Structure 1
Amino acid sequence: MSTFSKICSAIAVLVILMAGGAWFAFEAYTRSPMQEESREVPLVVPDGASFNQVIDDMARQGAVTYPFAFRVLVRIRKQQQQLKAGEYLINTGWTPERLLQELIRGKGVLYTLSFQEGLPWWDVAKKIEQQGFARAEDFSKVIHDPAFLKKNNIPFSSAEGFLFPETYKLHKPKVLNEASAENVASMLVHMFWQKTSSVWGDDVPDTKVLQKILILASLVEKETAIASERELVAGVYRNRLERGMRMQADPTIIYGLGQDFDGNIRRADIRNKNNEYNTYQHRGLPPGPICSPGLEAINAAMDPAQHDYLFFVAKGDGSHKFSKTLKEHNKAVRKFQLGKKK
């Protein structure tokens, strides 16, 4: 073999070794943490942004090491056009391979939306607005829209009672409008049907029964936070209904007063017959739920306790004194509400 051929062969071997070494180093790069110190870095990917722009942005924040190698990874995987716009929280402890997958899957950051049992729809709307998922005004329009109610099998004039109290994880919308409000409202109602399937299974109550259950459950939710009392309270209201008595529930008056309620129920409020939710003046259950109850209250409304109680009064410690007669009830009122022994 001539000297020239030997040199060419040596160069070829050297090139192969260098290429193999480069490939080995590249593969090691894709599978190793980008940084030894793990930290979270917020990243916003705008609509229409290219991978090159995003990689430059990540490099400026120190979130990706060896940006050239990351560009090569994107090209090798042929995923230049698969970048998803959105808001991300990336971690410098991730491998480049995982970072790429996060950016093309587009799941982004999930935020928490949370509210407790017993809130009326306007307080739910405020929380949704405060947490940046929809405007309260848009949410109100959606949950009172007959088309929305029909689509979601809601037999009331609003979605009150169906806005299931839960902790949700979701993306924040780019634009706050009626569409984003409907997305949130649909999610809450879907959760209601999903959770209550454990109560009635496939045998969903007919419209009238469902209305009665949800209204009664909302009263139970507002009247007591003590688990052991829920069935008792439901039983009191069932007994009153069976005897044709008025419910005489303060929370119904409050709901009828709406967002104007200032914290005090006045004698005029109790006497107000124009308030259709005033169960001191109108017999039977109010026309609709007065809040969105939790699953425990719904269970209590489905199966009230069997007893002879017709009255209950708050004892001041969160619990209630239950009575069978008006005489017993008046005595309990004097003791627990008026501070008298007799």
Structure 2
Amino acid sequence: MAGRRARERKARGRRRLIGWSIALAVVIAIGIAVAWALPRVLDRFSGPEDYAGPGTGEVVVQVQSGQNGSDVAATLREQDVIASTEAFVDILVEDPTIQFHPGAYRVQQQMSAQGALDAMQDPANKVELRVTVPEGYTLPQVYERLERDLGIPQADFLQAAGDLTQFDLPADALTIEGWLFPATYTFDDGIDAPTVLQAMIDRQRQALDQAGVAEADRQRVLTFASLVQREARLPDDFGRVARVFQNRLDIGMRLQSDATVAYGTGNFHVVTTTREEREDAENPYNTYVHTGLPVGPIGAPGDVAIQAALAPTEGDWLYFVTVDPNTGETVFSNTLAEHNAAVQRFQQFLRDNPGWGG
């Protein structure tokens, strides 16, 4: 009897042990399930991953033409500006009017999605390159200025300018000289040489359109205006210089412009020329030996020079000389005797200022 009760107690103990083991296994299984599911549940209710701070450091993000909000979000995530594309896209879904404009934008890394969006919409964060090309600059001078301010090598501009067909210039244009309008330009970071040149040529076309220059006359007008731009010093003299050149053209008299001779020699910065240079018939720009306008522009004319070439000031002058280059004082003469007297004043200036103008 005692033996049977002992066996029953052992059986009950084994059943309790099995029960506890099963219960423990269930608890462990539930714990594993909760551990796996809880983060996903929390994620579902807490939203996509997002940085909390305003960001640190700095990075430039490029938005390409044609990209949509998802593309921009992917770029921001790649550069660690935002923690997830979902957080950024969710904001865009709520406001479908948000647009992105091509260009480069300076933002911080590890920003909140809203902060990154605000930064991308702020024009102050857009990275832009600015360059000013003065009136009268020749192609080498323009390329040097573009390289300095845009960071594009001069060789890139030389290569791009070698293919005139891409710019749709007149058939009589030998180069793009004269077609790069002198002005201040703003470009997006990452711009290339052909695009810069096209923008400047388009701006010159706009100036010619506004001046009413016909397509067939554009190369001639730019050539004429470039002479006026290089020779005139004061605003009131542009029309007078144009009149001298026009009067000479009307009677078949050579223009005798030192600026054209200098351009043909490649010495764009000089004011005076030598007798040997003025007698060089192999220089196609030498208006001392070749009658009429030179073979092309000798620099970049601006609006004032273009207007002067189209409507010269009324007068009978055939000569002019700048007698004081420091002040720009220029004497216009009807006769050679008057002109020679003015030239003597200029020569006296050179004696008083040795080394000037070379």
**Is this a same-fold pair by TM over 0.5?**
yes
What is the DSSP-based 3-state SS (H/G/I as helix, E as strand, rest coil) of the residue aligned with 2:266? helix
Q: Do structure 1's residue 122 and structure 2's residue 140 form an aligned pair?
A: yes
What is the DSSP-based 3-state SS (H/G/I as helix, E as strand, rest coil) of the residue aligned with 1:233? helix
Q: Do structure 1's residue 256 and structure 2's residue 270 form an aligned pair?
A: no
Change in Cα spacing, 1:192 to 1:133, as seen in structure 2 (3 Å) is farther
Alpha carbons 1:43, 1:89 under 8 Å: kept: yes
Residue deviations 1:290-338 (CA, integer Å, cap 9, x gap): 0010011000000011101111111212120110000011111113433
Partner of 1:205: 214
Query: What aligned pairs does 1:119-198 form with structure 2 within 5 A after superposition?
Result: 119-149=137-167, 151-153=168-170, 155-173=172-190, 180-198=192-210
Query: What aligned pairs does 1:1-342 form with structure 2 within 5 A after superposition?
Result: 43-44=60-61, 50-55=75-80, 73-77=87-91, 87-90=104-107, 97=114, 99-100=116-117, 103=120, 108-149=126-167, 151-153=168-170, 155-173=172-190, 180-200=192-212, 204-207=213-216, 209-258=217-266, 265-316=273-324, 317-338=327-348
Residue deviations 1:65-93 (CA, integer Å, cap 9, x gap): xx66x8764142368xx99996423499x
% same residue: 29
Alpha carbons 1:40, 1:91 under 8 Å: kept: yes
Alpha carbons 1:84, 1:105 under 8 Å: kept: no
Amino acid in structure 2 at the alignment position of 1:293: P
Amino acid in structure 1 at the alignment position of 2:180: L
What is the DSSP-based 3-state SS (H/G/I as helix, E as strand, rest coil) of the residue aligned with 1:109? strand
Cα distance in 2 for residues equivalent to 1:313 and 1:216 = 18
Change in Cα spacing, 1:300 to 1:100, as seen in structure 2 (3 Å) is same
Change in Cα spacing, 1:41 to 1:96, as seen in structure 2 (3 Å) is same
Change in Cα spacing, 1:205 to 1:52, as seen in structure 2 (3 Å) is closer
Amino acid in structure 2 at the alignment position of 1:156: A
Alpha carbons 2:319, 2:332 under 8 Å: kept: yes
- The runs of 5 or more residues in structure 1 that have no matched partner are 1-21, 59-66, 175-179
Change in Cα spacing, 1:253 to 1:112, as seen in structure 2 (3 Å) is same
What is the DSSP-based 3-state SS (H/G/I as helix, E as strand, rest coil) of the residue aligned with 1:312? strand
Partner of 2:24: none
Change in Cα spacing, 1:261 to 1:283, as seen in structure 2 (3 Å) is same
Cα distance in 1 for residues equivalent to 2:242 and 2:255 = 11
Alpha carbons 2:258, 2:271 under 8 Å: kept: no
Amino acid in structure 1 at the alignment position of 2:163: D
- Which range moves more in the overlay, 255-264 or 43-52? 43-52
Cα distance in 2 for residues equivalent to 1:338 and 1:40 = 62
Partner of 2:33: none
Cα distance in 1 for residues equivalent to 2:225 and 2:271 = 23
**1:96 shift after superposition:** 6.2
Cα distance in 1 for residues equivalent to 2:261 and 2:270 = 12
What TM-score do you get using the length of structure 2 for normalisation? 0.68
**1:126 shift after superposition:** 1.4
Change in Cα spacing, 1:258 to 1:231, as seen in structure 2 (3 Å) is same
Cα distance in 2 for residues equivalent to 1:152 and 1:100 = 42
Change in Cα spacing, 1:50 to 1:249, as seen in structure 2 (3 Å) is closer
What is the DSSP-based 3-state SS (H/G/I as helix, E as strand, rest coil) of the residue aligned with 2:174? coil
What is the DSSP-based 3-state SS (H/G/I as helix, E as strand, rest coil) of the residue aligned with 1:315? strand
Change in Cα spacing, 1:105 to 1:155, as seen in structure 2 (3 Å) is farther
Amino acid in structure 2 at the alignment position of 1:247: L
Residue deviations 1:37-81 (CA, integer Å, cap 9, x gap): xx99553569996433434xx5xxxxxxxx66x8764142368xx
Cα distance in 2 for residues equivalent to 1:139 and 1:216 = 25
Alpha carbons 1:133, 1:172 under 8 Å: kept: no
> What is the aligned length?
289
Cα distance in 2 for residues equivalent to 1:234 and 1:172 = 40
Cα distance in 1 for residues equivalent to 2:171 and 2:269 = 26
Cα distance in 2 for residues equivalent to 1:84 and 1:226 = 42
Change in Cα spacing, 1:170 to 1:260, as seen in structure 2 (3 Å) is closer
- The runs of 5 or more residues in structure 2 that have no matched partner are 1-45, 65-70, 94-98, 352-358
Change in Cα spacing, 1:51 to 1:40, as seen in structure 2 (3 Å) is closer
Cα distance in 1 for residues equivalent to 2:236 and 2:246 = 17
Cα distance in 2 for residues equivalent to 1:279 and 1:231 = 20
**1:128 shift after superposition:** 1.4
